[in-house]
A and B are shown apart, each in its own frame.
Chain A
Amino acid sequence: MTGPQPIAKPEVAASSDVQSQPLLGAGNSHVADAIFHLAMLACGLCVLALVGVILYELVKGSRLSWHAFGLKFFFQSEWDPVNEQFGALPFVYGTLVSSFLALLLAVPLAIGVAVFITEMCPRWLKGPLAFTTELLAAIPSVIYGLWAIFVLVPLLRQYGEPFSARYFGWTGLFEGPPYGIGMLAAGIILAIMVVPIVSSITREVMTAVPQQQREAVLALGATRWEMIRTGVLRNARAGILGGVILGLGRALGETMAVTMVIGNRPEIAKSLFAPGYTMASVIANEFSEATGDTYLSALIEIGLALFIVTIIVNILAQFLVWTVTRGTPARSHA
């Protein structure tokens, strides 16, 4: 029923056009076609050029710092703008720790959500649940930050941190004064932001697992959970790993929410209560006030490192997702 509709409309436009000016269309079409093709090609090449420009700008901007510090830049922990001594180790550390903490919290939840939506929940609940979890991804980072400052951090300070210090203080990860603000708060807010990404990719690869796999495992007498574990999750594991890595990419580059709650102190501390600093946050905080060329250049070099790492992470993730979904017909060609 719906088939003819999209065809009908354009057909009218097309035929009336041809009838009204048959000569013009015939005479110019080759030239016009070539021009149009070139214009579209130019737009396509723009995308290519953009990545080139990004790389060029970052490399150009970071040259000064690279010459001054070399590879040592990433292994020194002194960050002293006054004496022009720059080492990015605390930021690398903060970025890695906050991101892994986020993944640790987010991945089990995200997989749970994906399993629930694709395999367990009643059909009528599927759409609304999927939409709601994706809504989490639509909330801007700065709003998460605002919420974290005024809701999450006080909660952590009053209940979360004293509680974990009392029962898990012996691990050494939960020591020191409970500021609320610090690595733990950053990890939690990042986890909330990463969940929708991991769960939507997980959902996608789980849906790509053929229905026969499920039926085959069920036919062997498996319970629903055994079917999900052996029939679905095991087949989709590469893709799920891809989703997790994509989440990691997001967490590594996330700026505003983290900047607002991590405490912004370039220190390396074992305790998760202690304030830290991430690569993205230091750029956000200090870039517009950086005095001196080396200072600015050091910040751009951090940006370059962030750029390269996220690109590698994203390529890896896409490859992993592709290994699972390649067999299924792409949705766009349905």
Chain B
Amino acid sequence: MILFLLRRLATMAVTLAIISALVFFIIKLPPGDFLTNLIHELRAQNDSAAIAKAEFLIKQYGLDRPAWQQYLIWIGAMPGPNGFSGLLQGDWGWSFEYDKPVADVVGDALWLTLLVNLAAVLFIHLVAIPIAIYSATRQYSLGDYLATFIGYIGLATPSFLLALILLYYMNRWFGVSIGGLYDARFAGEPWTWEKIKSLLSHLIVPTVVIGLAGTASMIRRMRANLLDELGKQYYVTAKAKGLGPTKALLKYPFRMSLNPFVADIGNLLPHLVSGSVLVSLVLSLPTVGPILLSALKNQDQFLAGFILMFVAVLTVVGMLISDILLAWIDPRIRMGGGR
């Protein structure tokens, strides 16, 4: 087990190294990133202070060095102007667009993003699993058709549209503004009980909006998986033992049908950050999505690079978690072999 973990960690490190290189060079690829534009502008001003600042920036970010050196400095594998100071050391770089350290720009947004999306994931599972079980055990019943129908509507509705509609009607009917994640008056305030309450009440709509499409597709997949498992012989065995229908269902076919969802955790985690950009824009949620979007548009290289790396780390860690969980819940995987 320890050996397995070590091997996995080593592969993860290699994967991340490759991803970081790709991220860095792809961001660097097109000409005209934020920093070079800035330097050009400063030089064009043709006054000595501006030129000195341009020179400083060039030195600071090693723009006079070859790209691979810039890359190594960025990840912290090579001493830059300030010694070793890169991702590995926890220095996430400088955002030129905001003129602040990346850590300050992303800061709260990162945790709020995780919060909103985790809430959405919880919502998806809590709603989808019972409905899926209901419609799988009562296949072709009225309830099943109804769940299927609503599921398809959920799948087909663009979530930003739903967000817009909710935004409008909530305001019109209840006079509530559901934009943002907390009341405007709390912006920049320290976290107090009041602020948390405001946050929770603002969380409901984004959760539902972001979760709806996921819920619909989860119902469909869970139902299909369960239907497969319900036809299996071991379920008949369980019933022939005299086990009640609910208990037999939860203990055997339901557990068998969980595997694909556990395997999905790896994809789920990065989705927590990069998904729901449109909804965040529409509902003006202070999440990472919109920040990433503008960073990419402006080629704010360190900011974009950091967010992309963060997503990559989440992906790799998610894969590890799902592999460990799979081995834990499924002895066939744990023991290797087995048919």
- Binding partners A and B: no
